[in-house]
Structures are given as C-alpha cells and as structure tokens.
Amino acid sequence: MSRVTQLPFAEDRVLTQAPHRLSTRLDGLIACMQKRRANRGRIPLAVESRCGVELWRAARRWRRAVEATLAPAKLTLVQWAVLTATARVVQETRDAASQNAVAACAQLDRVTVCMAMKALEQSGFVDRAPSAIGRSNRVWVTSAGARALEVGASRVQAASQASFGPQASLTEHLLASLRRVV
C-alpha cells in the first residue's frame, strides 16, 4: 500500500500524490512560490485597506529606525515612551507617578509598563518604591533617566526626520489626519 503525502499547492489547493510521483510536481510548487514572492509587495486590496497596510509598513520602518538610534542609549522605544510618560506625569502632579498613571499617559497596558519599568529601574533611569496606599508603585525619574530622556528625544527626532523627511507642513498634515482617524 502506497503512502499518501499532502502538500500545499497553488492557491491553497492540496495536491495528493504518491511519494514516487511527488518529485514531478515539485517544479510546479517552486514556480508557484516564486510567483507569490514576486507579488509579495502588491496586495490586492481596496485603496482604504492599502492605505492602512502602507501606514503599518511605514510605522514598522520608523520603529526600526528609532530602535536603532536608541540602542546606544540602552533604551527601547517602549522604554523611552514609558520614561517620557513618567517624566510628564511627575511634572504634572509634582509628585511621584503611579505606574497606572504612566500607563494611561503612555496609552500602554499595565503589563507592558510594568516590564518596561523593571528594565528602566535596572538601568538606573527610574526609582520605584511601594506606595503607602495599596499595591501600586511610586516612580521617580533619576538624573540618569533625565539625561537619557534628553538624548533619546534628540535621537527619536533625528530618526523621525530621516524617516518622514524635513517637510514639516506635510508631516503636520499627516499627523492631523491620523488623529482624526484614530
């Protein structure tokens, strides 16, 4: 009795062949895969959907550029955003920030903020201490954290300028459009 093998083939159909006849179909499978690779950048979607996909791709490229510029400062983009939000909350309240307030300010979930805070504390950019009320932590930005914020801000600005170009009016128009959508 011959063993049956199933392989994905052209447009999600399944080719079922005995193993000895399978090698004759591999050329067709390879050609199909090469065709799909050639069309990888072209997504057959409506204009609105293509706009979303291109925006997502641009955001990924921007994030990679920002992450690369922040790496020498020992920061990730999420850590920099959490550190920035912490500084903003501390400045607004003139008191230590709670991690929940930082999460709300940065528009990130509490788990992400907690993980970033732990890394920031290990790097010496923030100090955390338990709150006298409840189970929350109170967070302060250290002097090393303030220096990292300054360096990070200039690096993020440079990466953003390189990604989106120096056309301030176009960038402001795009930003205003995105704020209306989101």
pTM assigned to the model: 0.67
CA dist 64 and 68 (Å) reads: 6
Read off the pLDDT of residues 3-41 as tens digits, 9 standing for 90 and up: 544 444 444 444 444 444 444 455 666 666 666 666 665
Work out whether the CA dihedral 112, 114, 120, 125 comes out positive or negative: positive
pLDDT at 101 over 90: yes
Distance of CA 117 to the CA centre of its chain: 17
Domains and CATH numbers, the chain: 5-38 (no CATH), 64-181 (1.10.10.10)
Reported confidence tier of residue 136, pLDDT bands at 50, 70, 90: confident
The fraction of the chain above a pLDDT of 70, given in percent, is 66
- Rounded distance between C-alpha atoms, residue 84 and residue 108, angstroms: 13
